[in-house]
């Protein structure tokens, strides 16, 4: 499928679309390609969260898949950089390793896809960071047990890659990732290579990182012409470098000044350079492991020897991944990037070459055919060829494209048929006119003897020929006008159809935009609701169950407490009712007693008033003395309505007046009786008064006791009311608590109903989403059909306009050709003949110059090859001289040591003097050789510099020659154009001669 899409994209080039077969191919599969591209994975399906790494060919991003919310690491590789350096780009090996691996030690690939600019590898994201950042957090040194754990896991991961048939070739702490449990994952297979049948790799390309690269790789990079192979031992060397860095805090062969050349020299001289710090606490077993890993390839440890090494004694290799890691990273989310170093955002310059229009088939996407991969289709596809199965929709699209192509052919055949009829008509008219001209010529030849009538006849024939010519021109003009009118009508129809189609297309696009917006909103709502539901379901499934159990228990306890409180409230309310009834009865009795007392007081007052009036009348009638009045007044005052004791004492004394007659005596006696009577009545009244006073006192005592009881009752009533109010407040509080519990129960029930409603809404939204997607598909298909039809109509209209313009141009050329053709042809022929002569001379001269330049280029190329060979020889010689010089220096130091030892022992033995002299002679000779070698090295370096200067000069000459060759090619093109113009002029000359012959025959 990648190959088909690459072919389709190449065919959409404007220059290639001019070819009929290419344009028909593009039209045929346009909708199917559109459908397949829409279904394939693309970069817009992922949301970029952060950038965690950047390399030579691209960068690594942390992304979230929009459809599933899954978090991945996406490696983006630029196609232009991969094509610029194809020898060191191993993107296919990287995809194959992560796609086919079943090992838990290797990062798993989920998707691999591409667009016109980049390649994309979507793999597992390991949030624990890499081993280098872990080293920096531990001050660049691990404890020995911790280092043992990570070295063992790295060895298992490297061996699993070797068992798959690949070499990593770039093992370093940056490429060792930590998952969320703290165990390692091997990553970054951009430098990997596949092993051959002999478990070896033969490559001269520079790969790996300088500090971790093995000496075999350096030899293969330097000795290009020799066939040097290497195997899995290069990865075990890198493991030894990593082990040294974990235990000692630095790599063993890195130069202090950061020079890569010196680092490579140290690696090649590893036997003398590899040393361990004296003040370290690293065990001898660990040092022995590092020494046996950082040795020559033949004696380097293999996988089984690493497992059996004493440093890993007691290590359970089979269950190491199930155990607990020494460091477990704290992760705050699936997309947590806190364990990675921050990477600066870099704005890359746009690829200008990709924006330029293509003129021909580029083939830039052909190296990436077959790159597409999906984890879901891994079992069905072979060799990760992203071959999606053709669906019914794509088949229908292909059928629709076939129908459209057939319709286009019918329209083109109908229009071409009408034009062919018109051409036939014009050809018939021209043939008739040619026949008439031939007849006239024959008559002219027959009547050649009669000059005068022949001339007259010739004049008439010329006039007739002119009239016929004018008729032909009129007919042609009429035909052109008819064609113009037909074309105008067709153009108007096409314009109206185009407007209709464009309006329909705008409506469909507007509807499509609305549906897409609605679909996006629905998707967003669906995702939000799904997230909320998942979150709430995850959080509150067990919590709801616990809350319901607690609420039920609390509800039962509150119900029992409420029942007990209700019983106490009922009891208190009953007691309150009894007290209220008692108070009401007391108040009723008090009111009755008050009314009785009031009635008695009224009766007493009335009786006293009656008595006072009666006594006053009697005293006045009897005409008693002033003492009697005084007594009566006192009696009246004493009998007034008061609650004091009533004293009545009436004393009647005989006055000094004399009772002269009996009447007065009788009256006095009667008065005395009345007084006695009143005295008795007064005693009776006093007794009644005393009784009443006693009753009043008793009533007052009763009233006082009742008032005391009433006060106590009121106090009891107030206390009871306070208790009632407190109980009512407690009841209200309990009721509020019960209401809150009921509300919480209702809220939980509502939430459960809301969850069911949200599930139902989710299903409805999913159904609406499916409906919208189907509607969107139909709308897109309709819009695609309308767009294709509109394009077809516009192309037809453009072709018709072009034909019309061509016919107009032909008519204009037909009118103007005969006027200026004869005059121009002669001038052009002369000028072209001169130009042809010049061009031929220039051509011969340039051909000679080209031959000389090609010979010069070949000689320069041979010289350049010789110089490069000499440069390589000198470089090899330089390296050999340097190694020899190092050996001589080593021998010199050894000899000096021997000389010093011999000088100390010179007094003991004369034979040692001779050996000393011989050694001194050897030292002088070696020093002379050393000086000669240094002189030779300096001369070789000078020769190298001179050769480099010569190479640069030859490259400049080569560029100059290339520019000359380009000029020659342009001149060759101009020559071909001039030759074509000469041929055109020759044809014009032949046509001119034919016309002149016709004119001569006519005249």
Pick the more confident residue, 661 or 591: 591
* C-alpha triplet 418, 419, 421: angle, nearest 5°: 65
CA distance 468 to 476: 12
Is 515 in contact with 772 (CB distance < 8 Å)? Answer: yes
Helices 662-904, 451-622: inter-axial angle, 10-degree rounding: 140
Kindly indicate the confidence band of residue 734, based on its pLDDT and cuts at 50, 70 and 90: low
What is the token pair recorded at 406?
Answer: 């057939």
Strands 118-124, 109-114: parallel, antiparallel or unpaired by DSSP?
Answer: antiparallel
How many residues in the chain?
Answer: 1003
**In whole angstroms, what is the distance from residue 897 CA to residue 321 CA?**
54
517 phi/psi in degrees, rounded to 5: -65, -45
> Where is pLDDT greater, at 174 or 891?
174
Q: Is pLDDT of 293 > 90?
A: yes
Q: Which residues pair with 78 in a beta bridge?
A: 118
Hey, which residues are catalytic here? Answer: 170
Strand partners, 978: none
Taking the alpha carbons at both ends of the chain, their separation in whole angstroms is: 72
Query: CA-CA distance, 847 to 105, in Å (whole number)?
Result: 66
User: pLDDT tens, 627-637?
Assistant: 444 444 454 44
Q: What is the mean pLDDT of residues 645-664?
A: 42
pLDDT of residue 287: 95
Q: Which residue has better confidence, 239 or 505?
A: 239
Using only C-alpha atoms, the chain has a radius of gyration, in whole angstroms, of: 63
Structure tokens at 653: 């004394």
Instruction: Count other C-beta atoms under 10 Å from residue 968's C-beta.
Output: 15
**Residue pLDDT, tens place only, 369-427:** 778 888 765 443 333 333 333 333 333 443 444 433 444 343 444 444 444 555 566 56
User: What string of H, E and C letters represents the secondary structure of 468-492?
Assistant: HHHHHHHHHHHHHHHHHHHHHHHHH
Distance CA 11, CA 21 (A): 10
Average pLDDT over every residue of 195-222: 85
- The larger pLDDT score, comparing residue 191 to residue 710, is at 191
| pLDDT for residue 647 is more than 50 | no
pLDDT digits (tens, 9 = 90+) for 848-885: 776 776 676 677 667 667 766 767 776 777 677 767 66
3-state secondary structure at position 201 = strand
| Max Cα–Cα distance, the chain, nearest Å | 229
922-924-925 Cα angle (round to 5): 60
Task: Choose the weakest-confidence range: 246-250, 514-518, 647-651.
Answer: 647-651
State the residue for tokens 């560029």. Answer: 959
Rounded to whole angstroms, how far apart are CA atoms 101 and 105? 9
Report the C-alpha gap between 475 and 600 in whole angstroms: 154
Distance between CA 107 and CA 179 in Å, rounded?
Answer: 10
Return the top range by mean pLDDT from 306-320, 373-387, 608-622.
Answer: 306-320
Q: Which residues contact 209 (CB under 8 A, 6 or more apart)?
A: 170, 172
Question: Quick one: DSSP state of residue 178?
Answer: E
Residue 178: per-residue pLDDT: 93
Q: What's the rounded Cα separation, in Å, for the pair 166 and 645?
A: 139
How far is residue 4's CA from residue 25's CA, in Å, rounded to a whole number?
12
CA proximity to 274, closest of 301, 297, 300, 292: 292
Q: Tokens in use for 917?
A: 């002299």
**Cα separation of 468 and 8, whole Å?**
56
Q: What is the CATH number of domain 128-330?
A: 1.10.510.10
pLDDT of 125 reads 92
Q: CA 94, CA 119: separation in Å to the nearest integer?
A: 12
Distance CA 371, CA 742 (A): 62
| CA distances, 321 to each of 103, 189, 318, 527 (Å) | 12, 22, 8, 36
A 10 A CB-CB count for 685 gives 19
Question: Residues 409, 411, 413, 414: what is their CA dihedral angle, to the nearest 10 degrees?
Answer: 160
Assign 233 a pLDDT band (cuts: 50, 70, 90). Answer: very high
Contacts of 756 (CB under 8 A, 6+ apart): none
Instruction: Say what percent of the chain tops pLDDT 70.
Output: 56
More confident residue, 392 or 639: 639
Residue 965's pLDDT is 75
pLDDT at 783: 67
pLDDT tens track for 797-848:
677 667 766 766 665 665 566 566 656 666 666 666 666 667 666 667 766 7
Structure tokens at 910: 């004369």
d(CA 574, CA 582): 12
CA–CA distance, 460 with 467 (Å, rounded to integer)? 10
- Give the pLDDT confidence score for residue 260 in this predicted structure: 79
**Residue 208 tokens, joined:** 């790996």
pLDDT, greater one: 548 or 656: 548
Residue 1000, CA distances (Å) to 444, 455, 458, 997 in order: 12, 14, 12, 5
Q: Taking 90 as the threshold, does the pLDDT of residue 726 lie above it? A: no
The answer to which of 364-373, 396-405, 470-479 has the lowest mean pLDDT is 396-405
CA angle 219, 224, 229 (to 5 degrees): 55
Q: How many CB atoms lie within 10 A of CB 581?
A: 10
Predicted confidence (pLDDT) at residue 347 exceeds the cutoff of 60: no
Q: Using CA atoms, how far apart are residues 685 and 611, in angstroms rounded to an integer?
A: 10
**488 marked as binding residue:** no
Give residue 394's pLDDT: 38
pLDDT at residue 441 greater than cutoff 80: no
* Environment class of 112 (CB within 10 Å of its CB; exposed 0-12, middle 13-18, buried 19+): buried
What DSSP assignment string belongs to 635-688? HHHHTSSSSSPP---------SS---SHHHHHHHHHHHHHHHHHHHHHHHHHHH
Find the mean pLDDT for residues 580-608: 71
- pLDDT band at 117; cut points 50, 70, 90: confident
Structural domain boundaries in the chain: 1-126+337-389, 128-330
pLDDT band at 292 (very low <50, low <70, confident <90, very high): very high
Distances (CA, A) of 999 to 34, 278, 281, 820, 992: 63, 114, 116, 16, 10
Q: How many CA atoms lie within 13 A of 324 on its CB side?
A: 3
DSSP 857-879: HHHHHHHHHHHHHHHHHHHHHHH
Top-confidence residue, 677 or 240: 240
Among 535-539, 603-607, 789-793, 900-904, which stretch is predicted with the lowest mean pLDDT? 535-539
Tokens of 69: 């919310």
Is the predicted pLDDT of residue 163 greater than 90, yes or no? yes
User: Contact 868/969 with Cβ under 8 angstroms?
Assistant: no
**DSSP code per residue over 735-780:** HHHHHHHHHHHHHHHHHHHHHHHHHHHHHHHHHHHHHHHHHHHHHH
Q: Answer whether residue 713 shows pLDDT above 80.
A: no
Q: What pLDDT score was predicted for residue 766?
A: 67
Tokens 């030894």 sit at which residue? 240
Contact predicate 518/772, CB 8 Å? yes
Contact indicator for 966, 846 with CB cutoff of 8 Å: no
Say whether pLDDT at 475 is over 60: yes
pLDDT at 660: 41
Residue 265 has pLDDT above 90, yes or no: no
When the pLDDT of each residue in the chain is averaged and rounded to a whole number, the result is 72
| Res. 237: pLDDT tops 90 | yes
99-122 mean pLDDT: 91
700 pLDDT more than 80 = no
Give the pLDDT of residue 62: 93
315-341 mean pLDDT: 87
Instruction: List the one residue out of 204, 200, 301 whose CA is nearest residue 243.
Output: 301
Average pLDDT (940-951) is 73
Question: For residues 507 and 515, what is the distance between their CA atoms, to the nearest angstrom?
Answer: 12
For helices 215-222 and 260-268, the axis angle rounded to 10 degrees is: 110
The DSSP code for 390 is P
With cut-offs at 50, 70 and 90, classify the pLDDT of residue 626. very low
For the record, the structure tokens of 338 come out as 């806190």
The CA distance from 244 to 594, in Å, is 118
pLDDT at 964 over 50: yes
Q: Residue 1's closest CA among 364, 361, 390, 375?
A: 390
User: According to the model, what pLDDT value does residue 162 have?
Assistant: 95
Kindly report the CATH number that applies to the domain delimited by 1-126+337-389: 3.30.200.20
**CB–CB of 167/232 below 8 Å?**
yes
Q: Is the pLDDT of residue 680 over 50?
A: yes
Mean pLDDT value across residues 976-985: 75
d(CA 717, CA 425): 131
């Amino acid at each position: 499928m990648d190959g088909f899409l690459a072919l389709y994209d190449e065919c959409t080039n404007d220059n290639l679309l001019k070819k009929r077969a290419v344009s028909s191919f593009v039209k045929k599969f346009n909708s199917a390609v559109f459908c397949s591209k829409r279904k394939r994975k693309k970069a817009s399906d992922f949301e970029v969260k952060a950038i965690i790494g950047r390399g030579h060919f691209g960068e690594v991003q942390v992304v979230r898949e929009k459809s599933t919310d899954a978090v991945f690491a996406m490696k983006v590789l630029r196609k232009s950089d991969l094509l610029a350096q194809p020898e060191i780009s191993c993107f296919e090996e990287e995809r194959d390793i992560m796609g086919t691996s079943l090992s838990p030690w290797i990062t798993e690939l989920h998707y691999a896809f591409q667009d016109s600019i980049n390649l994309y590898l979507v793999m597992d994201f390991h949030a624990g960071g890499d081993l280098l950042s872990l080293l920096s957090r531990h001050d660049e040194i691990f404890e020995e047990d911790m280092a043992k754990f990570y070295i063992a896991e790295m060895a298992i991961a490297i061996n699993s890659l070797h068992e798959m048939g690949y070499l990593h070739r770039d093992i370093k702490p940056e490429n060792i990732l930590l998952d969320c449990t703290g165990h390692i994952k091997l990553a970054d297979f951009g430098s990997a290579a596949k092993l051959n049948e002999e478990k070896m790799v033969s490559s001269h390309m520079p790969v790996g990182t300088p500090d971790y690269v093995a000496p075999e790789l350096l030899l293969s990079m330097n000795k290009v012409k020799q066939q040097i192979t290497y195997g899995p031992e290069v990865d075990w060397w890198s493991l030894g470098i990593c082990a040294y860095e974990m235990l000692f805090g630095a790599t063993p062969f890195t130069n202090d000044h950061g020079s890569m050349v010196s680092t490579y020299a140290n690696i090649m001289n590893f036997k003398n350079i590899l040393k361990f710090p004296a003040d370290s606490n690293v065990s001898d077993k660990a040092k022995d492991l590092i020494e046996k890993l950082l040795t020559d390839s033949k004696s380097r440890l293999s996988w089984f020897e690493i497992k059996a090494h004493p440093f890993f004694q007691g290590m359970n290799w089979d269950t190491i991944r199930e155990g607990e890691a020494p460091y477990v990273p704290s992760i705050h989310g699936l997309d947590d990037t806190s364990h990675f170093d921050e990477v600066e955002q870099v704005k890359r310059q746009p690829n200008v070459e990709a924006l330029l229009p293509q003129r021909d088939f580029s083939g830039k996407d052909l190296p990436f055919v077959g790159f597409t991969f999906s984890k879901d289709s891994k079992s069905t596809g072979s060799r990760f060829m992203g071959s999606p199965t053709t669906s019914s929709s794509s088949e229908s699209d292909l059928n629709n494209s076939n129908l459209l192509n057939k319709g286009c052919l019918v329209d083109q055949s109908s229009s071409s048929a009408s034009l062919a009829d018109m051409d036939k008509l014009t050809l018939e008219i021209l043939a008739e006119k040619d026949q008439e001209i031939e007849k006239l010529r024959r008559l002219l030849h027959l009547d050649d003897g009669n000059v005068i009538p022949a001339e007259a006849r010739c004049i008439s024939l010329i006039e007739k020929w002119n009239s016929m010519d004018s008729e032909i021109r009129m007919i042609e003009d009429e035909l052109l006008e008819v064609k113009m009118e037909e074309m105008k009508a067709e153009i108007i129809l096409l314009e109206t159809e185009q407007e209709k189609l464009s309006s329909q297309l705008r409506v469909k696009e507007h509807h499509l935009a609305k549906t897409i917006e609605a679909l996006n909103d629905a998707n967003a709502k669906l995702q939000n609701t799904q997230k909320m539901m998942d979150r709430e379901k995850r959080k509150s499934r067990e919590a709801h169950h616990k809350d319901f159990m607690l609420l039920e228990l609390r509800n039962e306890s509150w119900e029992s407490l409420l029942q007990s409180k209700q019983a106490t409230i009922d009891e208190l309310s009953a007691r309150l009712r009894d007290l209220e009834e008692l108070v009401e009865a007391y108040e009723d009795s008090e009111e009755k007693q008050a009314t009785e007392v009031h009635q008695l007081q009224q009766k007493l007052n009335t009786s006293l008033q009656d008595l006072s009036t009666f006594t006053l009348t009697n005293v006045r009638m009897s005409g008693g003395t002033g003492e009697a009045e005084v007594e009566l007044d006192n009696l009246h005052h004493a009998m007034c309505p008061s609650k004091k004791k009533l004293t009545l004492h009436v004393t009647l004394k005989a006055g000094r007046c004399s009772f002269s007659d009996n009447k007065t005596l009788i009256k006095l006696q009667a008065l005395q009786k009345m007084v006695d009577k009143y005295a008795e009545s007064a005693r009776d009244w006093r007794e009644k008064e005393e009784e009443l006073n006693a009753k009043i006192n008793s009533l007052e005592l009763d009233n006082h006791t009742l008032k005391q009881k009433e006060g106590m009752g009121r106090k009891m009533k107030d206390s009871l009311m306070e208790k009632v109010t407190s109980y009512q407040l407690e009841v209200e509080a309990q009721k509020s608590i019960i209401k809150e519990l009921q509300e919480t129960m209702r809220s939980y029930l509502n939430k459960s109903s809301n969850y069911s409603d949200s599930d139902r809404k989710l299903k409805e939204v999913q159904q609406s989403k499916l409906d919208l997607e189907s509607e969107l598909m139909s709308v897109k298909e309709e819009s695609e059909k309308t767009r294709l039809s509109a394009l077809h109509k516009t192309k037809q209209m453009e072709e018709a306009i072009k034909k019309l313009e061509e016919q107009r141009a032909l008519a204009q050329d037909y009118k103007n050709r005969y006027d200026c053709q004869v005059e121009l042809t002669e001038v052009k022929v002369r000028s072209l003949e001169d130009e042809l002569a010049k061009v031929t001379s220039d051509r011969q001269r340039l051909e000679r110059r080209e031959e000389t330049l090609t010979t010069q280029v070949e000689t320069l190329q041979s010289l350049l090859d010789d110089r490069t060979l000499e440069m390589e020889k000198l470089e090899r010689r330089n390296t050999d001289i340097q190694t020899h010089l190092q050996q001589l220096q080593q021998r010199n130091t050894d000899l000096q040591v021997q000389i010093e030892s011999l000088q100390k022992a010179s007094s003991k033995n004369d034979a040692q003097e001779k050996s000393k002299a011989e050694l001194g002679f050897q030292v002088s000779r070696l020093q002379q050789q050393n000086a000669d070698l240094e002189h030779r090295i300096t001369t070789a370096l000078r020769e190298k510099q001179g050769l480099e200067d010569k190479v640069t000069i030859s490259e400049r000459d080569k560029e100059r020659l290339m520019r000359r060759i380009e000029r020659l090619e342009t001149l060759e093109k101009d020559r071909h154009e001039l030759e074509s113009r000469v041929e055109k002029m020759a044809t014009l000359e032949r046509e001119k001669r034919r016309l002149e012959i016709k004119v001569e025959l006519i005249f």
